[in-house]
Amino acid sequence: PTLLVLISGSGSNLQALIDATKSTPPLLSATITHVISNKKAAYGLTRAANAGIPTTYHNLVPYKKKHPTTEAAREAYDRDLAAHILKHKPDMVVCAGWMHILSPTCLGPLQGAGVDIINLHPALPGCFDGAGAIERALEAWERGEIDKTGVMIHHVITAVDRGTPIVVREVPFVEGDTLERVEERIHAVEHVEIVKATRIALDQRRERLEKS
């Protein structure tokens, strides 16, 4: 099966997926055929290039220049994002550190084409949806509101970070934790869980397709 990975940043989770597909025996029996970033400076683009994986930088700026409102720009951007993705006919899209909400304009065509979409969210289900989840969890812990956080990978639906979880892994806080230490602990967990979740989601897809 083929994967298309969406990134916005360092791509450490993309790297975990690349390494898992290249290990012997492969931890992940899939091929990453394309990587798309919404950020030009995303180091994940370099990681993909180093692994011989073609990349696309999908830039929002031209859309903002062309359209009168931000809404119209994002609508056209999302429509073209779906078209870019469908061009590569992936079995699955993995959002790995992807920091752009996928609107129904993007999700509709993908779901219509039977493409599965999964997303990594560095928090527990229903907690700290959206950006800055790790920092907001640390602040909640410092206020004594929670005693642990976690990582989940879920199926993508239009409600942000609210799809059915595939894997969930709790991550403890440690006395005197700083943002850097929590991020480091969470990223180490992400790198394991994203491979596990992608494998499970591909197995679910294969079972679904065999039944249909």
Active site residues: 121
- Can you tell me the distance from the alpha carbon of 10 to that of 92, in angstroms, rounded to the nearest whole number? 21
- Binding segment for ligand GRF among 11-19, 66-74, 78-86, 102-110 (CB under 6 A)? 11-19
Instruction: Report how far apart the first and last C-alpha atoms of the chain are (Å, whole number).
Output: 17
Q: List helix spans (H) across 113-178.
A: 133-142
In angstroms, the CA 107 to CA 151 distance is 23
Out of 3, 20, 122, 171, which residue is the one contacting ligand GRF (CB under 6 A)?
122
CB of 187 to ligand GRF, least distance (A): 6
> Applying CB under 6 A, which part among 8-16, 49-57, 76-84, 171-179 lies near ligand GRF?
8-16
Count of residues interacting with ligand GRF (CB under 6 A): 14
**Binding flag, residue 103, ligand GRF (CB under 6 A):** no
Q: How far is the CB of 129 from ligand GRF (least distance, A)?
A: 12
98 close to 38: Cβ distance less than 8 angstroms: yes
Nearest to 8 by CA among 52, 48, 41: 41
Least distance in angstroms from the C-beta of 113 to ligand GRF: 25
Binding residue (CB under 6 A) for ligand GRF from 13, 56, 149, 198: 13
Span near ligand GRF by CB under 6 A; candidates 60-68, 96-104, 138-146, 157-165? 96-104
Question: Site residues for ligand GRF, window 21-50 (CB under 6 A)?
Answer: 44
Reduced to 3 states (helix: H, G, I; strand: E, B; else coil), residue 130 is: coil
Instruction: At 7, list the tokens.
Output: 């990134």
* Candidate residues 30, 53, 82, 97; the one interacting with ligand GRF per rule CB under 6 A: 97
Query: Which tokens go with 167?
Result: 């894997």
Task: For the chain, give the number of residues.
Answer: 212
Of 182, 193, 191, 111, residue with least CA distance to 152 = 193
Q: Which residues bind ligand GRF (CB under 6 A)?
A: 7, 9-14, 44, 96-97, 99, 120, 122, 190
